Amino acid sequence: MKRYLLLTTLFLLSAVLPGCDKDTGLNIFTIQDDISLGQQTKAQIEANPSEYPILKESTHQAAYSYIRAIKNDILNGGKLTHKDDFPWQIYIIDRDDIQNAFCTPGGYIYVYTGLIKYLDKKSSLAGVLGHEMAHADKRHTTELLTKEYGIQTLLDVVLGKNQGLLTEIAANLVTLKFTRNEESEADKYSVIYLCPTKYHSDGAADFFQKIIDSGSSTPPEFLSTHPNPDHRIENIEDEAQSLGCTATITQQEDVNSYAQFKASL
C-alpha cells in the first residue's frame, strides 16, 4: 500500500513539476529507502577492505564500547527525529592518514582513526558524531539524490526501468558532497543533539579551531569542501549560547579518558 501511494505521488509530481526537479527541495525516498541505501553502501564498504579497513570489534572491544557509548548518549538526548527508525551502527576505519567521518542514509556511521587521533577531547568527537548523524537524521543525502537525479528518473527506478541505478547511487554515497546550507544545518543540530547530554555542546567547533590554530595550508578531507571554519565556529558557539547548554562532563572523562581511547587504536 505504501509503495502504491509512493507511485501515485511520483506520477503526480512528474506531471505537475516538469523541469523543476532540481529546485523543489523534495525528498521522494521513504525512511525504508534510506535504510536500504545505507545497507547497500555498507555492503560496498565491506567489499573493499583495502580502501576501508574496518577495525574488528573482536580485537578492539574497548574502543568500540567507548565510541558506541558516545553515540548512544547522543541518541538518548531525545532530539533526533529518527532515533528509533534507523539502525545507528558505528564503525572505525583503520586509516591514520585520513581525518574524516561520514554517515550514510539510515544511520551507518564511519569514523577514521586519523580523525579520532587528531582530536583531543571526548566532547570534540561527540560534536563530530552529532554533525554526521544530523546528515542522516535530516535526510540530507536522499534529498540531494532527489535533486540530482530528478523525479522522473527516480520514478523510472520505482517502475523497474532502471534497477541498476540504486546500486550505482549506493557506490557513490561515500564521496557525496553536501551543500553549504546542509553543512550549516548539520552544525546547528550537532549542538541541539549534544545540549541535553553531558558533553560540551559546541564540541564540533573544536575541530575547526584546531585547523585554524595549526595554520595548515592543506585542510583535512573532512573540511575540504565545507564552509569557512571561522564562520562555523562562530555559528556553533552562538547556537550553544542561545540554547543555554551546560556541560557536566569532567576533565578526567573529557580529556584523560579520550587520550586512553586514542592510545588503544
Dig out the grid coordinates for 160 from the structure. 523497474
Looking up cell 523510472 gives: 156
3-state secondary structure of 78: coil
User: What gap in Å lies between CA 103 and CA 173, rounded to an integer?
Assistant: 9
Burial of 146 (0-12, 13-18, 19+ CB in 10 A): buried
For residue 154, give every residue at least 6 positions away whose Cβ sits within 8 Å of its Cβ, in sequence order, or none: 10, 28, 29, 145, 146
Domain ranges in the chain are 37-42+52-144+178-263
User: What gap in Å lies between CA 22 and CA 44, rounded to an integer?
Assistant: 27
pLDDT grade, residue 10 (50/70/90)?
Answer: very low
**What digits encode the pLDDT tens for the residues 168-225?**
776 677 777 888 889 999 999 999 999 999 999 999 999 888 888 877 645 555 554 4
Half-sphere exposure of 34 (CA within 13 A, CB side): 26
Does the pLDDT at position 15 exceed 50? no
Dig out the grid coordinates for 230 from the structure. 571561522
- Distance in angstroms between the alpha carbons of the first and the last residue of the chain: 48
The pLDDT assigned to 21 comes to: 38
**What digits encode the pLDDT tens for the residues 81-123?**
999 999 999 999 999 999 899 999 999 999 999 999 999 999 9
Q: Which residue has the higher pLDDT, 16 or 130?
A: 130
Beta bridge partners of 92: 111
Does the pLDDT at position 63 exceed 70? yes
**What digits encode the pLDDT tens for the residues 224-263?**
445 677 788 999 999 999 999 999 999 999 999 999 999 9
